């Protein structure tokens, strides 16, 4: 923060020094017009700066949300594959594993997902997965088919755990610090710039300015929503896991 303030102070100092030196040493004309070269140049640069910051405020969280959606799909699909693999195990072990996989997915949907809005996952979910992996690893099976099913199931459990860790990282992900406040500040500056430059819009001239302000406000609102990957109107929901619960219904029960 201190470095940022020093950079701002240095930039303002450069403008003040340049204005002083050019007034003393270089001939020129005073620029008081709201549509003069100074206002036009500053306005275009402010607009470009706002577009740059706003693009970062949109693209980075949107990319994070898209990755989070793909990761939830990967985790739910791994759970479905684990359920299939468990169906190939002999009873009663296969049915027990299937039930635990179903319970884990239901836990994620009903208990864990609300917690993700605050950027955290429940420790119970990780404990459930660890216990299930240990249980599968400790199974004693005979026959090539059963051994292959156990091996596939362990691979599926590994995929679920990896996807879960990525989901935890997605829940904790935050956009670069200061980007959204800077987008708000530059947006307000762009809106107020005509007044700061000395223009006094009246009548129909206020219509496009008002429309621009409304659109900028809506854009900032969307940017704020996108930063909350699991807690907003545009958040990633547990749809993939709910679909997995539905798919479990058509997978044969072990034994």
pLDDT tens sequence across 222-246: 888 777 787 766 678 889 999 999 9
Position 9 in a domain? no
Residue 197 lies in a domain: yes
Environment class of residue 67 by beta-carbon count within 10 Å: exposed (0-12), middle (13-18) or buried (19+)?
middle
Q: Does the residue 25 lie in any domain?
A: no
**Mean pLDDT comparison of 45-49, 165-169, 173-177, highest-scoring range:** 165-169
| pLDDT over 70 percentage in the chain | 82
Residue 214 lies in a domain: yes
E-assigned strand segments in the chain: none
Mean per-residue pLDDT, 42-57: 79
Residue 124 dihedral angles phi and psi, to the nearest 5°: -65, -35
pLDDT(80) > 90? yes
Please, which pLDDT band fits residue 164 given cuts at 50, 70 and 90?
Answer: very high
Question: Cα(238)–Cα(242) distance, rounded to whole angstroms?
Answer: 6
- The secondary structure of residue 254, as a DSSP letter, is P
Query: Is 19 among the domain residues?
Result: no
**Domain contains 142:** yes
Assigned domain for 8 exists: no
The residues near 76 (Cβ < 8 Å, ≥ 6 apart) are: 105, 240, 241, 243, 244
pLDDT band at 163, cuts 50/70/90? very high
Q: Is the pLDDT of residue 20 over 60?
A: no
Band of pLDDT at residue 2, cut at 50, 70 and 90: low
pLDDT of residue 89: 87
Residue 7 pLDDT exceeds 70: no
Q: Is 167 helix (H, G, I), strand (E, B) or coil?
A: helix
Exposure string of 107-124, with b = 16+ CB inside 10 Å and e = fewer, is bbbeebbeebeebebbee
Contact 83, 101 (CB under 8 A): yes
**Residue in 236, 74, 90 with CA at minimum distance from that of residue 158:** 74
Domain total in the chain: 1
Q: How far apart, in Å, are the Cα atoms of 158 and each of 6, 38, 72, 115?
A: 49, 61, 15, 23
User: Tens digits of per-residue pLDDT, 199-208?
Assistant: 777 777 778 8
Domain span including residue 51: 40-248
Burial class (CB in 10 A: 0-12, 13-18, 19+), 71: buried
Alpha helices, DSSP H only, in 197-230? 206-226
Tell me the pTM: 0.74
The CA distance from 244 to 236, in Å, is 16
Q: Is residue 238 part of a domain?
A: yes
| pLDDT reported for residue 201 | 76
pLDDT band at 93 (very low <50, low <70, confident <90, very high): confident
């Amino acid at each position: 923060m201190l470095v940022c303030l020093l950079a701002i102070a240095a930039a303002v100092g450069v403008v003040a020094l340049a204005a002083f030196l050019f007034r003393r040493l270089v001939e020129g004309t005073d620029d008081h017009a709201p549509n003069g070269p100074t206002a036009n140049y500053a306005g275009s640069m402010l607009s470009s700066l706002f577009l740059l910051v706003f693009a970062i405020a949109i693209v980075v969280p949107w990319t994070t949300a898209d990755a989070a959606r793909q990761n939830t799909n990967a985790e739910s699909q791994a759970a479905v594959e684990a359920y299939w693999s468990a169906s190939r195990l002999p009873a009663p072990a296969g049915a027990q594993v299937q039930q635990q996989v179903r319970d884990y997915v239901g836990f994620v949907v009903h208990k864990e997902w609300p917690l993700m809005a605050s950027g955290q996952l429940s420790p119970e979910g990780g404990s459930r997965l660890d216990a299930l992996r240990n249980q599968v690893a400790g199974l004693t099976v005979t026959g090539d088919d059963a051994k292959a099913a156990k091996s596939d199931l362990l691979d599926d459990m590994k995929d679920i755990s990896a996807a879960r860790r990525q989901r935890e990282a997605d829940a904790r992900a935050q956009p670069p610090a200061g980007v959204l406040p800077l987008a708000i500040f530059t947006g307000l500056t762009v809106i107020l710039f005509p007044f700061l430059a000395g223009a006094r819009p009246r009548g129909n001239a206020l219509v496009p300015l008002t429309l621009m302000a409304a659109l900028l406000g809506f854009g900032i609102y969307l940017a704020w929503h996108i930063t909350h990957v699991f807690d907003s109107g545009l958040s990633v929901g547990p749809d993939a896991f709910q679909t997995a619960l539905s798919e479990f219904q058509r997978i044969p029960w072990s034994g």
